[in-house]
């Protein structure tokens, strides 16, 4: 394998507490790093960096682990900018626009879906994302969900079946019939293509009992559970997520003290999606309360056409710092190591020895530039280890 040494790194964030300043960020200054096609081989002072087959001069810029975007809906067709304009004018968000995207996605050809997904994936990668989770959920038929998961597999191994996004129009008067389809023929067809199962458990979507039944059925087919929880109201979904040992409960917009206590005593990650609050004029979740209680927090883009058409993790970090009282370092950790924990991965989200060689070189000497320069092109280069699926990274 070819080895590469990156020299003259002004600030190297490893997220390995055994390295550098021994903080949770594992930070070194005036550093260097050696990688091969697969993993990190060496990190340490720039002055003692070993030689390698190739060399990259970071020119005094910062290097961070690649972002782990643990919640996206990249496979879709159409757009809903009119809904965004309406919300900015005061219309309340209730999730009802999902059916519009279902109609558009069902009508799209596979070539059109692939073209759109490739574009969004490339935008994420250019912004430093090296690991991405992709959900289905915008066709809600057996054939359509299979089609979308097969497409997602071209981009990632972190595929999520979200057949329980909403009840589609043709089953509006037969919820039980749709849940029967979900937990039988659709699950049978989709389970071999997915790693995870997700349910939108909230007001107007699926109830606690429905979500429990769907996720337990999915787990019996070998899928690990995760959950859309408390985006629109206090739904009780946080407690359900912990009960089922979900890797992550996502959104967490509405939290009470009991929710936070339950999360703090669990291994379930609270994944916050501030792009959704920005795009829907909803209240931002209380990251500070979660962190102070010892809850593991992740940040993700929630890229989707209705409530968070966001492909910049730097923008997510800026929102978390400005609107959710997180420090830049807390937000950086949440979007890298936190995202990895939300996917129950120990090989990504950090740059310790043996980690995947996934990292980003910034256009700035400190990671703080990610929030300091909102809207700017802060990520100069993204490096991803060899990927086993179709690699469309830059």
CATH code of the domain containing 328: 3.20.20.140
Q: Which of these, 228, 330, 235, lies nearest to 271 by C-alpha position?
A: 228
Total count of domains within the chain: 2
Is 388 a member of any domain?
no
pLDDT, position 391: 33
pLDDT, position 220: 98
Distance CA 65, CA 382 (A): 10
CATH code of the domain containing 40: 2.30.40.10
Is 389 a member of any domain?
no
- Tell me, yes or no, whether 104 and 39 share the same domain: no
CB 296 within 8 A of CB 271: no
The DSSP bridge pattern shows strands 224-225 and 4-13 to be: unpaired
Is 390 a member of any domain?
no
191-194 own/partner pairs: CB under 8 Å, 24+ apart: 191/161, 191/218, 191/221, 191/222, 191/223, 193/146, 193/149, 193/150, 193/153, 193/159, 193/161, 194/136, 194/149, 194/159, 194/160, 194/161, 194/223
Q: How many Cβ atoms are within 10 Å of 122's Cβ, its own excluded?
A: 14
pLDDT, position 144: 98
- Tell me, yes or no, whether 40 and 84 share the same domain: no
- Tell me, yes or no, whether 23 and 148 share the same domain: no
CB 194 within 8 A of CB 160: yes
pLDDT, position 94: 76
CB 298 within 8 A of CB 257: no
- Tell me, yes or no, whether 180 and 85 share the same domain: yes
- Tell me, yes or no, whether 244 and 314 share the same domain: yes
Q: Scanning the structure block, which residue is given the tokens 């039988």? A: 184
- Tell me, yes or no, whether 147 and 167 share the same domain: yes
- Tell me, yes or no, whether 322 and 354 share the same domain: no
Give the HSE-up count for residue 361: Cα atoms under 13 Å, Cβ half-sphere: 18
Is 327 a member of any domain?
yes
pLDDT, position 389: 32
- Tell me, yes or no, whether 82 and 147 share the same domain: yes
Q: Say whether 151 sits in a helix, a strand or coil.
A: helix
Query: 0.85 exceeded by the pTM?
Result: yes
Is 229 a member of any domain?
yes
Domain extent, residue 220, equals: 67-342
- Tell me, yes or no, whether 119 and 254 share the same domain: yes
- Tell me, yes or no, whether 53 and 79 share the same domain: no
pLDDT, position 393: 35
If the chain, 394 residues long, is cut into consecutive pieces of 10 residues, what is the mean pLDDT of each piece?
95 97 96 97 98 96 98 98 94 86 98 98 97 98 98 98 97 97 98 98 96 98 98 95 98 97 98 97 96 98 97 98 98 98 98 98 98 95 69 34
Element (H, E) at 196: strand 196-201
- Tell me, yes or no, whether 55 and 192 share the same domain: no
- Tell me, yes or no, whether 44 and 120 share the same domain: no
């Amino acid at each position: 394998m070819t080895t590469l040494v990156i020299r003259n790194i002004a600030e190297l964030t490893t997220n390995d507490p055994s390295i550098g300043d021994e903080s949770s960020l594992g930070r070194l200054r005036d550093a260097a790093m050696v990688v091969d096609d697969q993993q990190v081989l060496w990190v340490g002072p720039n002055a003692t960096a070993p030689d390698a087959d190739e060399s990259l001069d970071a020119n005094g810029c910062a290097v961070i682990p690649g972002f782990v975007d643990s919640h996206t809906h990249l496979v879709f067709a159409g757009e809903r900018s009119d809904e965004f304009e309406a919300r900015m004018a005061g219309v309340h968000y209730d999730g009802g626009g999902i059916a519009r995207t279902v109609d558009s996605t069902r009508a799209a050809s596979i070539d059109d879906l692939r073209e759109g997904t490739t574009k969004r994936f490339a935008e994420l990668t250019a912004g430093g994302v090296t690991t991405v989770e992709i959900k289905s959920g915008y066709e809600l038929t057996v054939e359509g969900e299979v089609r979308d998961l097969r497409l997602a597999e071209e981009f990632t191994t972190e595929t999520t079946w979200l057949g329980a996004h909403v009840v589609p129009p043709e089953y509006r008067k037969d919820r039980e019939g749709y849940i029967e389809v979900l937990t039988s023929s659709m699950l049978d067809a989709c389970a071999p293509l997915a790693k995870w199962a997700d349910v939108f458990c909230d007001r107007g979507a699926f109830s606690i009992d429905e979500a429990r039944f769907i996720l337990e059925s999915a787990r019996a087919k070998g899928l690990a559970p995760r959950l859309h929880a408390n985006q629109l109201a206090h739904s009780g979904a946080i407690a359900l997520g912990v009960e089922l040992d979900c890797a992550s409960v996502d959104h967490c917009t509405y939290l009470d003290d009991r929710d936070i206590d339950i999360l703090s005593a669990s291994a379930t990650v609270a994944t916050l999606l501030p792009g959704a609050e920005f795009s829907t004029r909803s209240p931002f979740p209380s990251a500070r309360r979660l962190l102070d209680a010892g809850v593991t927090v992740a940040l993700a883009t929630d890229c989707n056409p209705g409530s968070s058409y966001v492909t910049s993790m730097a923008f997510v970090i800026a929102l978390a710092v400005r609107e959710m009282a997180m420090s830049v370092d807390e937000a950086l950790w949440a979007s890298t190591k936190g995202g990895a924990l939300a996917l129950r991965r120990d090989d990504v989200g950090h740059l310790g020895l043996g980690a995947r060689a996934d990292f980003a070189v910034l256009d700035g000497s400190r990671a703080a530039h990610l929030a300091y320069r909102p809207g700017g092109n802060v990520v100069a280069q993204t490096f991803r280890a060899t990927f086993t699926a179709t690699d469309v990274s830059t």
